[in-house]
Amino acid sequence: MKRISLLILLSSVFFATVRTTAQERSTRVKLHLVNQPLSQLVKQIESQTSYHLYYQTAVFDSLKVNLSAESITLNQVFDSLFKGTDFYYSVFKDAIFLTKNQKILTKLPSQFSGKSDEIVKENTALVADIASKKTSVPATLENKLYTIGNFTNSAKTTATLAGNIRNSETGEPIPGVYVFIDKPRLGVITDAFGFYSISLPKGKHTLNIRAVGLKDTYRQILLHNDGKLDINLVEEPFALKEVVITTDKSSNIRRTQMGIEKLDIKTIKQVPTVFGEADVLRVVLTLPGVKSVGESSTGFNVRGGSADQNLILFNDATIYNPSHFFGFFSAFNPEVIKDVQLYKSSIPAKYGGRLSSVLELNGREGNKKQLTGTAGIGLITSRLNIEGPLIKDKTSFILAGRTTYSNWILGALPNSAGYQNAKANFYDFNINLSHQQNEKNSFYATGYFSKDKSNLATDTTFQYSNQNLSLRWKHTFNNKIYGVISGGHDYYSYNNYSNYKDDVDYRLKFDIAQSNLKANFSYYPNVKWNIDFGASTIYYKNNPGALAPYSSKSLVVADVLPQEQALESAIFAEQRYDLTDALTLNAGLRYSFYNYLGPANANVYAAGLEKNDANIVSVERFGNGKSIKTYQAPEYRVGARLALNADFSIKASYNTQRQYIHMLSNTTSMSPTDVWKLSDLNIAPQQGKQISLGLYKNFKSNTIETSLEGYYKKINNFLDYKSGAVLILNHKIEQDVLPTVGKAYGIEFMVKKLSGKLNGWLSYTYSRTLLKTEDVTGGNSINSGKFYAANYDKPHDFTLIGNYRFSHRVSFSLNVTYSTGRPITLPVGKYYYEGGQRLLYSDRNQYRIPDYFRSDISLNVLGNHKKAQLLHNSWTFGVYNLTGRKNVFSTFFASENKIINGYQLSIFGTAIPFISYNIRFR
C-alpha cells in the first residue's frame, strides 16, 4: 500500500513534469550578460517569463554568467552555463531549482526497486513539499523548503507570513523573538503571545529566528501567497566560553521605544535577595531610574513619581498592593512569571491611568506537553507549582501557591526578644488556564488571590488581601490583524483591628474594586508599518473607610465614609512607521474620559478662597449614577529612533499622562492603612508630561549593551498635605490636601552584559524630584511656597549585579547597591510649654537620613544535568547585607519623662544568612 501511494505521487509529478518540460522548451528569453553574477540572470529570466528560480546565494556566489543571445530556450541557457560543472537545474511547473552536487528528481528512476524506492523518497521530498497546498505548516526542520500559499499570477509582489513561535519542550509561546530575512533586511519581533506577522517579497527566502537564551535557527520558505508558519524553538545549552550574540538580538538598538527595561525570570532568580526568595520587585529596584524610600518598603518610585503613580498589571489584572509582610516579600510567585517589562517613558497608548510607569508582569501559560512542577523550601516560605496539559498541545493549566511558617519561627524566639506574642503569616494562590481552540482563537484565564495577617507584638493586627480575575480572548482575523478582548475584576481590601483593650478595641476597613473591559487590536499593513488601536473602560467602586467597635464593650463610635463610584474610559490609536532603514517614528493618541458618579453629597466652595467650612457655599445632592463631575483630555505619545549604524542609535520621546485616582498615606512608604481616593468635584486628576532623550551603543558583537537616557518631567495636581492633616476617615479630605506642582529630571546610565561566564549589569542614576505647594487662597503654603525635595528624592543611586558561572552546576551572584539618604524633617530647636519640652521643626524635608549601602552574595548549586531523570534539584546559599550595615530606614522622636529623645530605625541591622532548596519534577 505504501509503494502504491508513492507510485501515485511520483506519477503525478512525472506527468506534470512532461507538461512543464514542453512549456519550458517553447519559452525563449533574450539575454546579454558579460561576467555577471547569477542574480542578474535570474532577474532577467523572471522578468521575461512566468518562472521563479530558487537557489542558495552562498552556493552560487562564485559563478559568473557570460551569455549573449536574442532568442534562447531555458534548457539551452542552463545546459551551456552548467556544462562541465557540478551544478544542476530541475524544472517543476513554474519553478526552476538550481542545486549543487545533487539534482532534484522530477521523474521516476529507470530502475524502480526496493533500494531505489528509498532514493526516490529522498530526492522527491522537496518536490512533494512544494506541491503541498497547506497554508499552515508546523516547522521543525532547517533543511526543508516550506511552501507558503498557492502560486497565482497575481500582480501583487508581496505576501504576508504569520505564525506563532513556541517552546518545543513546553509548548508555551515565546515573546521577543526576532524573525527576519537578510536580503532585503526586513524583520519583526514576536509579541506577548509569541505571534509574528511579516510582509515579504514573493519568492524563496531564508527566514532567520533568533532570541536570547534560545538556539538560533532558520527556515527555508517558498512564499507564493499569504500563509502561516508556526515555529518551535529549543533552549540553548549554556556554554562556559564567551558566546557571540549577533545584532539581531540587539532589540535595544532596533526598537523605537525608550525607557523600557525587560527581565526574564531566569535573570530575576539569579539576583540575591533577603531570605533567598526570588523577588520580582526587588530586582526591578536594581534598574536605573527606579528607587524606593527604604529597605523592605512596599512601593517603588520611577523617575520622580510617587508609589501610587505606577500601574502594576499581572496578566491584565491591576494589583494595588504588590507585597507581603509590609514589603519584605513580593506578592508575585516567581514560578508563574514568564517575564517582566517596565515602561518608564514611551508608554504605549493602550496603557493609561497612571503618571510614572507601567510594570507589566506576564504569566506563563503552562506546559502543554507533559505534567511538570517545582517546589521550594526556604527559611521563611515554601512554594509549590504544578502545571501540565489538560488536552495535549491545546489546553494547559498552572496551579501555584506560597505560604510562610514565620509564626512558628517567631514562637521559637526567646521571650527576651519581645516577639513571643507576635504573628506574621501570608499566602498567595495562582491559577492560570490557556486553551487554543484553533488557529484563530485562543482563550486565557488568570486567577490570583493573596492574604496577609500580621502583628509584630503590637496592639494592632493588620490584614489585607488582593483578589483578581482576568479573562482574555485572542482572535486572529488574518495574517495582518488580530485582537485581544479582555475583561476582569480586581479587588483590594484591608481589615485592621485591635482587641487588646475592651474599651478602645476597634476595626478599621477599606476596600476598592474595579471591573474592566478592554479591546486591543494590532494591524500590520506591511513590514514597515504597525498600528495598534482599541478602547477600554473601568468601573470603580471605592469604600474609603469604615470604623466600628470590635466588640460590644468597646466605646469606639462607628464612622463610615460614603461609597464612591466612577467610570474611566479611553480610546486610543498608535502607529510605528519606518521612514527609512535608519529612521523610525512612533505616534499615538489616547483620549480619556472620567465621570465621577453619584450618589453623593458634594461640597461647593466659594471660588478663590481656601477650602474650609466657612467657605462652603452649598451642598449638592446627586442621585445614584448621576454624573457629578466629568474630566476629559487627550494624552500624546510620540517617539523617534535614528540608527546611525547597526550598533548605535539615538531615541527621543514625549509623553503626557493623566491619573484619576489618588493614594492617601500618612507614611513614607505604602502601608496597610493607605486609602485610595477618586477624583471628584474638588480634587482634580493628576497630570504629567515627560520628555526623554537617549543614546544606545553596543560593543563586542553586541555582547555588551550600554545606554544613556536623560529626562525632564512636570507634574500637576499632585496631592500633598497640610501640616497636621487627618487622612483617615476624613469626610472633607479636600480641606486637608493641597494641589502641588512638581518637576523631576535625571540621567540614567546602564551597562549590561548578557552572555558568557561573567554577566550582569551596572547602573547609575542621578535624579531630582522637587515639589512646590503654594496656597494662594490662604496661609497653607509649604516652605513659604518654595520648591522642596519629595520624600523619595534620592539624587545618587548605584547598583551592580554580577553573576559568575564556575561550571555548568555552580554559579556565584553578587548585588551591591548605594544611594543617597532620603529627605526628612527634623527638629531644629526646643522650647518648654506647660511644663514639658516641645519641638520646633525645620522646613519640610530639609535634611536627609544617612546614605544607604548594602551588598549581598549567593552561591547557586544545581543538581546533575541528566535530562531524563524525574527530579532535578538545586540549592541556594547566601548572605543578605553581608557587611551588617545598620542602614537607617527612618528617624522618630518620643517624649519620655517629659524629655524628647530621638531614635533611628533600621530594618536589617545585621548580616542575614539564608538557604533555600528547590526541586523540579517532570
pLDDT for position 115:
41
Q: Where does residue 315 fall: left (phi above 0), alpha (psi -120 to 50 degrees), or beta otherwise?
A: left
What residues pair up with 832 in beta bridges, in sequence order? 837
What residues pair up with 718 in beta bridges, in sequence order? 740
Nearest to 432 by CA among 449, 424, 417, 444: 444
Neighbours of 39 (CB within 10 A): 14
Spatial separation of the C-alpha atoms in residues 814 and 856, rounded to whole Å = 6
Neighbours of 765 (CB within 10 A): 23
Q: Which residues of 339-349 are buried (b: 16+ CB within 10 A; e: fewer)?
A: bbbbbbbbbbb
Spatial separation of the C-alpha atoms in residues 125 and 543, rounded to whole Å = 68
Spatial separation of the C-alpha atoms in residues 691 and 267, rounded to whole Å = 30
Spatial separation of the C-alpha atoms in residues 37 and 67, rounded to whole Å = 12
Spatial separation of the C-alpha atoms in residues 400 and 921, rounded to whole Å = 14
For residues 198, 200, 203, 208, the Cα torsion angle rounded to the nearest 10 degrees is -50
Dmax (CA) of the chain = 119
DSSP state of 125: H
pLDDT for position 838:
74
Going by DSSP bridges, is the β-strand pair 357-363/310-314 parallel, antiparallel, or unpaired? parallel
Amino acid at 180: F
CB 875 within 8 Å of CB 861: yes
CB 28 within 8 Å of CB 101: no
CB 241 within 8 Å of CB 699: no
> For the whole model, what pTM was predicted?
0.80
Nearest to 287 by CA among 762, 809, 770, 796: 762
pLDDT for position 113:
43
pLDDT along the chain (922 residues), means of 10: 42 45 62 84 82 79 81 85 83 81 64 41 39 45 79 78 88 87 83 88 88 81 88 69 41 73 81 76 89 78 91 93 81 88 91 94 90 87 92 93 79 60 84 93 95 80 93 93 95 90 88 96 88 96 93 89 96 92 92 95 89 91 93 95 89 95 80 88 95 91 88 93 85 90 95 85 94 76 88 93 87 92 84 73 87 91 70 85 87 73 79 85 74
pLDDT for position 840:
78
Nearest to 647 by CA among 694, 699, 707, 695: 699
Residue 853 grid cell:
549601602
